[in-house]
Structure 1
Amino acid sequence: MRLVEASERLGVPVLVGHHRRHNPVIQAAKKLIAEGALGRLVMVSVCCALMKPERYFQIPWHRERGVGGPFLINLIHEVDLLRHLCGEVDSVSAMKSNAVRGLDVEDTGGVLLRFDSGVIASIAISDSVAAPWSWDLTSGEVERFPTHEALSHYLCGTEGGLSLPALELWRHDGDISWTGKMARILCPHQSGDPYVAQLRHFGELIKGLATPLVSAREATRNLEIVMAMHEAATRGTRVKLS
């Protein structure tokens, strides 16, 4: 917050690198939601399932309580993406387990978020499972991670659903009912490297031609929510955001 206040007082912008907002798939999803392709957004389900090798935990802080574990290392990206698509978070509930590795940090957890709009989102996360259902292993954003033809994010509305990163739009052919068949529409989108786009945005910011897509204040809100998730999982209670 001291950094945020200094940035705003001096008029010097601070950019935080939440690269997913620069991904053309996410930009297309944001546009579809805004245009009402899903009707009213009601529910979102996120899966972050992957296997971190044992050598990952040879780095001391990766297994240190209060800084390590998938809640504090990985969830920040899911939080920023959900806020980008769903709006502001009202409250969170969570639980966690370290049953697989037995370290001082969790290896598996579940989170529920309630948004001001009434949207409910769930996140299932584990770094101890052999599975491809995560953004890192399906989006193709990072070369060191193999890309799988799988899905990780499901957005559900009153008139349709959207699965990511394939950008599949599901809508009924006729009456909207669970007894009616739905059609799958592959939505077109531009191709592009989100990291390159992020650096281009950074250059525009330096030149004074843009404002931060994710400012220091915006990113601090993400951090507050992640810390609330960790607190909720540790205490076993619902935490309301201020």
Structure 2
Amino acid sequence: MCGRYSLSKSKIELEERFQAEMLPEFKPRYNIAPTQLVPVITSGSSKGFSFFYWGITPEFGKNKPVAQKLINAKAETVDQKISFKSSFQKRRCIIPADGFYEWKKLGKKTKIPYRFTLREAELFSMAGIWEEYETLNGEIQHTFLILTTTPNEIVSEIHDRMPVILTKQQEKVWLDSYSKEEDLKQILSPFSSDLMISYTVSPLVNTVQNDTPAVMRKTSPMDQHGNYTLFG
């Protein structure tokens, strides 16, 4: 799964990497969580960033608060599930990021947070689908979810799923309204572990309200609560 990620780059860096226009008031994010309003690029508007809520409402599930919605979908079955099939065919998006977080379980109660990035800490995108729905007040809102796949070698040490990370060429295929379904499915695969790194971070990331650079800094597991050690 992917339940937390970061987008700590500047407006200029985002615009240069994705060749899309960002809102002037954009500020870097360090601890993005479900239900929050964050930037995406859709297949129908690839020259500008849109802001959608993270957490999707299937077409049949209207009038639900954002917190009750799904945040991820399995890439292996996204074209088969009735709740996602239409979005997969017609409403695809990419979600810009520069890292994501997962937690390694140590015993029954202890979890160590890890951050995963590309080797040069550069921007990347995650594959997503989006949906439009009507709120209880009759307002139209847009939401998205992140597609996940089986983990590569580096992520599998921590978790059994990882977000689908796309290359620049794959982004073009994913956002192209005319792409064939077989071509779309082909790119929904684990990203190369040779191009990624991971490291432990502060437990500050556990609290959504902590949206500062401190949550991304490399931290020894022993420093987190004074008595943690990693096994394997």
Report the TM range for the smaller structure's normalisation: under 0.3
Quick check: which has more Rg, 1 or 2?
1
Task: Name the one with the larger helix percent.
Answer: 1
Task: Name the one with the larger strand percent.
Answer: 2
Q: Answer 1 or 2: higher relative contact order, Cα 8 Å, separation at least 6.
A: 1
- Give the TM-score normalised by structure 1: 0.23
- Give the TM-score normalised by structure 2: 0.24
